[in-house]
Each structure stands twice: as structure tokens, then as C-alpha cells.
Amino acid sequence: MIRIQPGVPLVEVERSGVVESIHTGHLIVLAPDGSTRFSAGVPDQPIFGRSTLKPLQAVGLLGTGLDLEPVDLALAAASHSGSNLHRQLIAAELTAAGLTPDDLECPPDLPVGEDERRAYLAAGLSESRLAMNCSGKHTAMLRACLVNGWPASGYLRPSHPLQRQLAATVAELAAEPVVTTGVDGCGAPLFAISLTGIARAFSRLGAASDGPRRRVADAMRAHPELVAGQGRSATRLMQGVKGLIAKDGAEGVYGAALPDGGAIALKIDDGAGRAADQAVVTALRHLGVIAAVLDDLEGAPLLGGGVPVGEIRPVR
């Protein structure tokens, strides 16, 4: 069994003048030349990168010979909120490929965005594969199988030729081997590499001048609202920092990179997304990013009785 070593305090939660919670974690900041500009915790230990690895897998999908339009490529790299727009686009992509939502092997789910979930339930809708935040990736996986004549059934098995190629792509981009393979929340194989490897891979995507890496980065930059969703930090960061690519993941994982190759990756020990959204601000400031969106994201209000009584903020 691999057990992640605990990190250092990165984010604190203050309520009514009392710091009542502290989120620890790990962080790596790479300068454009690949050297370490800042680190905290143990960023070289292997972790499950969760959905932060989706842009890397999207590069691998293009490497199979699959040709995706930018919208479909952004959705392949997405953990979308399950909005009506997300669902409509993925449904259209499935139909154009001669597929249906029943072909997807991700589990039925509700939207992950709070506003989207409320609207979805208010409309009387129930859990569906289209609403599942990984449905864009799964649709692209199925399309890659069709293009290559691979079995569509069982496309999530680690032994499937598609998954073997995606694992190889992740290892190549990270410049380190996959330590172990698990199962992600959507049922897809999940690869364990280090935060340093994730940052290295994001750097290669962010600074790419051409090829599949550049196509994935450009698709994310052109459609940040598809990569996450309205109000979510990854979308807001890409909208507010020119040229940035950013991808959040479950269990408090985050990766991002600038066009010059500067990159970051982080993991919150207890998996809290609220802490990852704050730690990414710290990481990007270490890269020298100056943007209003960082000021807007830093210090999320903590409510008591419906009014602010404290905040969630990076440890200073």
C-alpha cells in the first residue's frame, strides 16, 4: 500500500477571529526553465492526479489518430459542471459518432455545479451519464476506439489498447513512470505520478508551439467555460490570466501552466476543494502572476447565519 506523507499548512479557515481548521498539503512551482522555484511538503511522492490528468489524457487521445474539434477537445479535458450546454454538446457529439449515452461506461450522476444541480433537479431530471462530469472524456475515448477499430465495450479496462496508450502518454509527458494504476471515480484507469511530474507535464502543454500538446492547450484556452463551468476556479483563472491552462481534480489536486512554461501542481491532504482553490492562488503568485482574478479568488468568505464571519485563505 502507498501512503501519502503529510504535507505542510497551506490554507487556514478563520471563523469569528478563531482559526478553526488548517488544510495541509503539497505544492511545486516550476520556473519556465524547469527548475524548482518553490516547493512545500513532499511534491516528489506519487499521488493519484485524478481529473487534473485529463489534459494529459487528451493529448494521448489525439495520439491515437482521433481528430477532435476544439469544443470536443476541451470537453475531453474537462470535469464539466453538467450544465445544459455541456450536456447538449456531448449529446450532439455522441449522435454524430453514431453513439448514445448508453454506450458510455461512466456511472450516472448529477451535475457538480451547485447552480447547475439545482436547475437540473428543478427540471425533474435524474442522474444520467451525460450529466456525469467525465462524460466528455468518455465520449472521446469511445470515438478513439471507433477510429482505431478497438472494442468499444470494456474500453475502461487497463489492458485495453486505448488505456495502455493513455498511460504511456501520461508517463511521457511527466517524464517519469506511472507508479501504480487505480480506478477513478468515473471508472477509468487512474495513474499515480508525482506532483513534480504533473507540473512538468503541464509545462510541456502550456509552452507547446505545435502538435497535439498545443491543440489541447489552445482548446482549453478557447473554451474555459467547457473545461469546468460558470463560477468555478479553473474557468475563472483561464478567463482572467491570459494564456493560462488550469485543471482541477478531485481530492484537492490542481495543475496549471503559463505559455512560457512556468507551471504548478498541488495536492491538499484532506482532499478539500475549498483549500485547493486557495492554494492555487499562492502557487500562481510564486510564478509572478498578477491578475485581478487572483485577488478575487483569494480569501473566500466563510458564512455564519448567512453573513460573512470569517474567511478561507492561504496561510501567510
pLDDT, one tens digit per residue, over 100-147 is 999 999 999 999 988 899 999 999 999 999 999 999 999 999 999 999
Residue-range domains of the chain with CATH = 8-314 (3.40.710)
Per DSSP (E only), the strands in 31-166 are 36-40, 46-48
Q: What is the mean pLDDT of residues 196-223?
A: 98
Bridge partner list, 21: 13
pLDDT value at residue 121: 96
Between CA 265 and CA 106 the distance in angstroms is 26
Per residue in 84-99, pLDDT (tens digit) is 999 999 999 999 999 9
Query: How far from 150 is each of 66, 109, 137, 157, CA to CA, in Å?
Result: 12, 27, 17, 12
- Asked whether residue 265 carries a pLDDT value surpassing 90, the answer given is yes
The overall average pLDDT reported for the chain is: 97
Mean pLDDT of 51-78: 98
**pLDDT (tens digit, 9 = 90+) per residue, 38-61?**
999 999 999 999 999 999 999 999
Burial of 306 (0-12, 13-18, 19+ CB in 10 A): exposed
Q: How confident is the model at residue 281 (pLDDT cuts 50, 70, 90)?
A: very high
Q: Is the pLDDT of residue 316 over 90?
A: no
